[in-house]
Amino acid sequence: MTGDRYEPAAFKARVDEVLTRFVAQETDQLLAIDADLGPVAEQVEAAVADGKRLRSAFCYWGWRAVGQPDSEALLRAAASMELVHAAAVVHDDLIDDSPLRHGRPTVHVALREALRRRPRAASAARSLAMLVGDLLMSLAGQLFAASGLPAAYLARARPLWAALARDLVAGECLEILRTGSAPDTSASLKVIRYKTAKYTVEQPLLIGGALAGASRRLREDYSAYGVPLGEAFQLRDDLLGLFGDPARTGKASADDLRASRPTAVLAEAWRLADEAGRAQLRSALGRRGPDADRLRSVREVMDRLKAPDRVESMIGARVEEAVRAVHDMDVPDHAADALTVLAHTATVRRH
């Protein structure tokens, strides 16, 4: 960060420093309880080691757009958004039994390896992973509350934390409840909105704005920007999950198919497919470890139906909506520039 200009790499470095220091202090205290907690401490640290720090950036610029200056206390509060994300990822990977994240074994898989010589290692590892996710969410609240911002500022944002947690859990529950149902684009978009979109963009922005004392009008503008952009972010993630290169995405390409996740690209393909196409799609859903031929077959069906192109159009329309919302905001030029850059950074990516 140089002056008022948003520089992603510099901002990420600042957030990484906050998270590394805070999490190291917390894991030291965990290990002081008992050295046997070593594998748990390692996974807590691993869970926050990667990321573009977009959620903290949205929180930061939610603050700056009100006219507030750069602040180390605010940066610590914004960094807590990354701990929320880390908790959500650990729980999501556990629910979906995903093997990889950022090119490394997911928390429950890594813990299974650490416990391999113990009885019921797989079950114990899943239980520990659930607790790692719970601890990360608790640490998010702790970092936020101890950020150094005035208590009155923190009190303004407290109700938004409840909304963030409720929406995130609701979205995850909806995905579980709708997994295996006939794919439906509208239902998929609702899952996207609550499971990921809101806590990725809208709610960090609103929290940063609340801390800074944003007006009601500006908060409405934040939502007009944040909801479509958050949806675009997850639509991009779903496309990359199926069509991206695992070497770049760090995740297994077949995860969504194996888990029968209600993604929009699957729903669009299903809507457009004839009975033969649906049979091809159905043959790949819910299978453990689909082979390369099956994955290639699904991609061919989707490409033939232009389902990825339709999702690309959905992404583009939502990014345009978000950028228009920035133009309507009464905010400093440097904040408008940053929010515009973030709109493209969050959605034009290869991993």
What pLDDT shows up at residue 98? 87
2 is a domain residue: no
Classify residue 128: in a domain, yes or no.
yes
Residue 2 confidence (pLDDT): 45
Predicted pLDDT of residue 280? 84
Between 2 and 158, the more confident residue is 158
Nearest CA to 347 out of 309, 317, 327 is that of 317
Q: Is residue 63 part of a domain?
A: yes
Task: Assess whether pLDDT exceeds 70 at residue 251.
Answer: no
Which DSSP state fits 100?
E
CATH number of residue 83's parent domain:
1.10.600.10
pLDDT for the residue numbered 307: 92
pLDDT bucket at 1, cuts 50 / 70 / 90: very low
- Domain annotation covers residue 54: yes
Question: Residue 184: inside a domain, yes or no?
Answer: yes
Domain count, the chain: 1
* Residue whose C-alpha is closest to residue 211's, from 115, 12, 5, 68: 68
Q: What is the pLDDT of residues 289-327, one digit of tens each?
A: 556 777 788 888 899 999 999 999 999 999 999 999 999
Q: What's the pTM?
A: 0.92
In a domain, 195, yes or no: yes
Q: Is the pLDDT of residue 172 over 60?
A: yes
DSSP letters, 55-86, are HHHHHHHHHHTTTPPP-HHHHHHHHHHHHHHH
Is a pLDDT exceeding 80 seen at residue 252?
A: no
Q: Is 1 inside any structural domain?
A: no
pLDDT in tens, 190-232: 999 999 999 999 999 999 999 999 999 999 999 999 999 999 9
Percent share of the chain, pLDDT over 70 = 93
CA angle in degrees (0–180, nearest 5) for 48-50-54: 95
Backbone angles phi, psi at 342, to 5 degrees: -65, -35
Tell me, yes or no, whether 351 lies in a domain: no
Q: Which domain holds residue 169?
A: 8-345
